[in-house]
Amino acid sequence: MKKLVKDLELHEIDYIMAKAEGLDAIISDNVCRIRVNEDWKFEDYSPTTNPTQSWPIIEREGICLNIGMLSHEDNSVLFWNSTFDDSILQCGKTSLEAAMRCYVASKFGDEVDMDNLINK
């Protein structure tokens, strides 16, 4: 199934991030987990919510973060956007979500074939 990066769930972004980083990953109960040792021990991997996992990627890749306000009739919605190489723009509810969407789009394009990634 193909999905636009902007429509991916957070655990799907985490999974794609793990794959892009060369990690052995699975999705279980809507949580991405990575294998951390030879004994098949897994731990949660969530760069969309865990700054310890995402900031090294943001810094290494040079992803820029910006905050904005989107106005709708009576409501204003705070959002984050990130840019990569001035050509890729992705948004998210948090800075980490926006940055990781940007990274995924930079590696795989605006649309990701989830079936192809999961079966690798």
| 90: Cα separation from own chain's centroid | 10
**pLDDT tens, position by position, for the chain (120 residues)?**
899 999 999 999 999 999 999 999 999 999 999 998 888 899 999 999 999 999 999 999 888 888 876 655 555 455 666 666 777 888 888 889 989 999 999 899 999 988 777 655
Structure tokens at 107: 């590696």
Per the structure, how many domains does the chain have? 1
**pTM assigned to the model:** 0.84
Give buried/exposed letters for 58-82 (b at 16+ CB in 10 A, else e).
beebebebeeeeeeeeeeeeeebbb
Residue at token pair 């793990």: 18
Q: Burial of 42 by CB count in 10 Å (0-12 exposed, 13-18 middle, 19+ buried)?
A: middle
Q: What is the CATH number of the domain that holds 92?
A: 3.30.2120
Give the domain range for residue 99. 2-118
